[in-house]
């Protein structure tokens, strides 16, 4: 398609809609991000590298991104299962379950963090039996993982659910009449059809988990080099009036997140029908 | 096709199926389909025809009764082991696969006896040639027209070399012209391949045109199962007579082999029916209209219909579809005329 602004365009409003979109996006996304991108250079390149080579910063970045990736990945099968139950099964209480899925969206994150901490603390309902098994959740990276899964789950469910509903049961029935077993039908018919939605759900859950602050810091314990997340490092630098250092960590997070989301976008383009052509 | 397929017979006896409370979807259906036969299940929506088809395909189960395909009771046989081709109403193509992969699916998922890749490719290409879309193999379902999707669905179902082909309203989503073309083509294809075929439709033209025999269904039962000619000439009951073809319905009383029409809307007609009240179905071609200046009937419309002419005649007793009497001048619109029935099928009222 050409970028023609001709009035004979069959779908009018091209110029107007593109103009408004770019202006709006600039105002609320690009300008703040540019400020973030410009600020660290006060330190000079060597100063930025100095901030980033700090072992504590590196450990926090590794924890934030590594755990967010694993949590988003773990949310996929769980999200798929919940979406499947909501779409395919009819049982009393289905609407309650449906509403419950959105609770992590609605709950103030600090409340979620406190609740999870109370639950998984060494004397909590789940923490105590887990401790007996030798597993400590609260104040460890595992706690970070649990909080990140909690906030990311609704994204995995809500992106897969409409696609699964739209898929219907006919394609699966067709696969059965053609001789496919249940596992074959799931692997060759259902999952490929859901794959683009799963990638989107993964991306959203990942993005949310990386940026999550409130619910994570309570359960994480924030021990430097062990369970300290990158957003907390930023906050600490801000509190120490090291604005440029905070921005340097922030810019790094932005760059890594952007790369991950870009990669997911490319994967998704290949998963769409015709994408392999 | 290089692998000639021989059809199997289907024996359905006393099959019942009920979804929740209320009327049964199927209420004691029995049906016997001969090998290689083309049968249509015809009926209004809710008559149970799709339920019967799904039970045959193993996508649903019967609460009572037996289904035997090729002489074997298939009650405990799941759909994937039946080897039956099923074409869904909305085609149910795999949207993330191209045409080639859709057609190859049934061969690729085989655990035992999966043909080598070259043979699968050769077979898929033969099938696409058979359904006349050989150039479409790299397209995705979204890039095809409705008729082309239908052909892909058919090729996919035929790829597993089924001995029985089940089609659920296969032409329902297509426009009239394509539908007509495709059903004639399907009939030709069925004869070429020799596969036993059962088609569900609510379109009587479609059923009458393609099927060797038509099972007319109503409220979970088969009202009549016969050839299209017999259904039109000798309908088993008032439902079949009313559902198939056009007919004028007139209540009458039979006395001594003569039908006296209520209100004397038509002259009495000699019939072979027991005495008593009855409902007469008179086809338009059996109802002759003749000029008669003092008649209460007026010709409202004249329409050329094939070799003859069709008339709509109305009077105090209502409107009738009729034809001009062959031995008299053709009545024109607005002229008064008399009606006379030449024949009728009577059912006790």
pLDDT of the residue at A8: 64
- Give CA–CA dist A174/A192, Å, rounded: 15
Whether the per-residue pLDDT at B281 is higher than 50: the answer is: yes
pLDDT of the residue at A273: 66
Whether the per-residue pLDDT at A1 is higher than 70: the answer is: no
Q: Please check whether residue B5 lies inside any domain of the structure.
A: no
State which of B212, B242, B272 marks the end of a domain. Answer: B242
- Sheet of B164-168: strands edge to edge? B84-87, B164-168, B196-201, B38-42, B213-218, B221-226
DSSP label of B263: G
Residue A194 distance to chain B (closest CA, Å): 10
List, as ranges, residues 299-338 from B with C-beta within 8 Å of A: none
Q: Please check whether residue B152 lies inside any domain of the structure.
A: yes
State which of B203, B227, B242 marks the end of a domain. Answer: B242
Q: Please check whether residue A22 lies inside any domain of the structure.
A: no
Q: Please check whether residue A1 lies inside any domain of the structure.
A: no
Are residues B80 and A180, on separate chains, in Cβ contact within 8 Å? Answer: yes
pLDDT of the residue at A276: 47
pLDDT digits (tens, 9 = 90+) for A69-93: 999 999 999 999 999 999 998 889 8
Q: What is the mean pLDDT of residues A169-197?
A: 92
Q: What is the ipTM of this complex?
A: 0.80
> Does residue B76 share a domain with residue B212?
yes
Q: Where is pLDDT greater, at B306 or A275?
A: B306
User: To the nearest whole percent, how much of chain B has pLDDT over 70?
Assistant: 98
In terms of Cβ atoms closer than 10 Å to its own Cβ (0-12, 13-18, 19+), residue B111 is exposed
The average confidence (pLDDT) of chain B is: 89
Cβ-contact A157, A83 below 8 angstroms: yes
pLDDT of the residue at A277: 38
Q: Which range of residues forms the domain containing residue B161?
A: 10-242
Question: Whose CA is closest to B28, among B207, B217, B235, B154?
Answer: B217
> Does residue B334 share a domain with residue B224?
no
pLDDT confidence band for B2 (50 / 70 / 90): very low
Q: Which two tokens stand for residue B5?
A: 């397929």
Residue A179 distance to chain B (closest CA, Å): 4
pLDDT of the residue at B329: 85
SS3 of residue B313 by DSSP: strand
pLDDT digits (tens, 9 = 90+) for B122-157: 999 999 998 888 898 899 999 999 889 999 999 999
The closest CB to that of A184, out of B78, B97, B109, belongs to B109
Cβ-contact B153, B87 below 8 angstroms: yes
Q: Please check whether residue B298 lies inside any domain of the structure.
A: yes
DSSP label of B116: P
Are residues B59 and A176, on separate chains, in Cβ contact within 8 Å? Answer: yes
pLDDT confidence band for A243 (50 / 70 / 90): confident
pLDDT digits (tens, 9 = 90+) for B72-102: 899 889 999 999 999 998 889 998 899 999 9
> Does residue B286 share a domain with residue B144?
no
Are residues B80 and A178, on separate chains, in Cβ contact within 8 Å? Answer: yes
Q: Please check whether residue B193 lies inside any domain of the structure.
A: yes
pLDDT digits (tens, 9 = 90+) for B331-346: 889 889 989 888 888 8
pLDDT of the residue at B60: 92
Q: Please check whether residue A36 lies inside any domain of the structure.
A: no
The answer to whether residue B138 neighbours chain A at the CB level (below 8 Å) is: yes
Q: What is the mean pLDDT of residues A207-224?
A: 88
Cα A94 to chain centroid distance, Å, stands at: 25
The sign one gets for the Cα dihedral B175, B176, B180, B186 is positive
SS3 of residue B131 by DSSP: coil
Cβ-contact B85, B164 below 8 angstroms: yes
Q: What is the mean pLDDT of residues A84-111?
A: 89
Q: Which range of residues forms the domain containing residue A157?
A: 45-271
pLDDT confidence band for B4 (50 / 70 / 90): very low
Whether the per-residue pLDDT at A274 is higher than 80: the answer is: no
pLDDT digits (tens, 9 = 90+) for A219-234: 888 888 888 899 999 9
Alpha-carbon distance values, A262 to A247, A255, B204 (Å)? 22, 10, 55
Whether the per-residue pLDDT at B182 is higher than 90: the answer is: no
DSSP label of A26: I
Q: What is the mean pLDDT of residues B9-25?
A: 89
String of DSSP letters for B186-240: HHHHHHHHT-EEEEEES-HHHHHHH-SEEEEEETTEEEEEE-HHHHHHS-SSHHH
pLDDT of the residue at B6: 64
Whether the per-residue pLDDT at A13 is higher than 70: the answer is: yes
> Does residue B270 share a domain with residue B219?
no
Q: Please check whether residue B2 lies inside any domain of the structure.
A: no
DSSP label of A29: I
CB contacts < 8 Å between A and B, how many? 80
Largest CA distance in chain A: 73
> Does residue B267 share a domain with residue B300?
yes
User: To the nearest whole percent, how much of chain A has pLDDT over 70?
Assistant: 95
| Tally of structural domains, chain B | 2
pLDDT digits (tens, 9 = 90+) for B190-216: 988 889 999 999 988 889 989 999 999
| Tally of structural domains, chain A | 1
Angle subtended at Cα A241 by Cα A235 and Cα A242, rounded to the nearest 5 degrees: 80
List, as ranges, residues 134-193 from A with C-beta within 8 Å of B: 170-171, 173-181, 184, 188-189, 192-193
pLDDT digits (tens, 9 = 90+) for B32-49: 999 999 999 999 888 999
């Amino acid at each position: 398609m050409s970028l023609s602004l001709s009035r004979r365009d069959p779908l009018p409003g091209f110029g107007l809609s593109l103009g408004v979109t770019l202006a709006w996006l600039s105002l609320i996304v690009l300008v703040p991000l540019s400020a973030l991108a410009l600020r660290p250079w006060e330190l000079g390149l060597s100063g930025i590298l100095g901030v980033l080579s700090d072992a504590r910063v590196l450990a926090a970045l590794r924890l934030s991104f590594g755990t967010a990736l694993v949590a988003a990945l773990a949310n996929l099968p769980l999200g798929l299962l919940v979406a499947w139950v909501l779409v395919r099964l009819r049982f009393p209480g289905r609407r309650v379950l449906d509403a419950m899925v959105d609770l992590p969206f609605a709950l103030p994150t600090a409340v979620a963090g406190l609740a999870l901490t109370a639950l998984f603390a060494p004397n909590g309902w789940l923490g105590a039996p887990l401790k007996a098994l030798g597993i400590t959740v609260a104040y460890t990276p595992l706690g970070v993982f649990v909080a990140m899964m909690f906030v990311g789950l609704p994204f995995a469910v809500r992106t897969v659910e409409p696609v699964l509903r739209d898929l219907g049961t006919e394609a699966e029935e067709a696969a059965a009449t053609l001789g496919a077993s249940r596992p074959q039908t799931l692997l060759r018919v259902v999952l490929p059809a859901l794959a683009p939605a799963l990638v989107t759900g993964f991306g959203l859950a990942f993005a949310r988990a990386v940026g999550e602050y409130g619910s994570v810091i309570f359960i994480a314990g924030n021990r430097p080099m062990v369970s300290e997340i990158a957003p907390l490092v930023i906050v600490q630098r801000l509190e120490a009036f090291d604005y440029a250092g905070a921005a340097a960590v922030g810019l790094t997070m932005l760059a890594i997140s952007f790369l991950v989301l870009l990669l997911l976008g490319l994967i998704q383009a290949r998963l769409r029908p015709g994408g392999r052509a | 096709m290089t692998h000639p397929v021989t059809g199997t017979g289907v024996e359905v006896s006393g099959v019942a199926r009920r979804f929740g409370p209320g009327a049964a979807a199927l209420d004691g259906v029995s049906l016997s389909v001969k090998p290689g036969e083309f049968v249509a299940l015809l009926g209004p929506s809710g008559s149970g025809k799709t339920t019967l088809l799904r039970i045959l395909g193993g996508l649903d189960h019967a609460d009572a009764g037996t289904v035997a395909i090729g002489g074997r009771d298939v009650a405990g046989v799941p759909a994937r082991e039946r080897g039956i081709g099923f074409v869904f109403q909305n085609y149910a193509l795999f949207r993330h696969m191209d045409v080639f992969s859709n057609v190859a699916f049934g061969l690729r998922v085989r655990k035992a006896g999966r043909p080598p890749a070259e043979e699968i490719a050769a077979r898929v290409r033969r099938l696409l040639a058979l359904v006349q879309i050989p150039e479409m193999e790299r397209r995705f379902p979204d890039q095809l027209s409705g008729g082309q999707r239908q052909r892909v669905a058919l090729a996919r179902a035929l790829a597993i070399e089924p001995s029985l082909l089940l089609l659920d309203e296969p032409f329902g989503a297509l426009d009239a012209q394509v539908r007509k073309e495709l059903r004639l083509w399907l009939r030709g294809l069925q004869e070429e391949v020799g596969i036993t075929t059962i088609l569900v439709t609510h379109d009587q033209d479609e059923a009458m045109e393609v099927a060797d025999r038509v099972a007319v269904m109503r409220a979970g039962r088969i009202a009549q199962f016969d050839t299209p000619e017999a259904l039109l000439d000798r309908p088993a009951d008032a439902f079949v007579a009313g559902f198939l073809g056009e007919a004028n319905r007139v209540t009458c009383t039979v006395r001594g082999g003569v039908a006296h029409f209520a209100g004397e809307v038509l002259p009495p007609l000699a019939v072979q029916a027991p005495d008593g009240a009855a409902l007469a179905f008179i086809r338009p071609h059996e109802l002759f209209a003749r000029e008669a200046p003092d008649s209460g009937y007026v010709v409202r419309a004249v329409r050329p219909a094939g070799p003859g002419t069709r008339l709509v005649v109305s009077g105090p007793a209502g409107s009738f579809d009729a034809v001009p009497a062959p031995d008299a001048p053709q009545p024109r619109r607005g002229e008064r005329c008399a009606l006379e029935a030449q024949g009728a099928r009577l059912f006790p009222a």
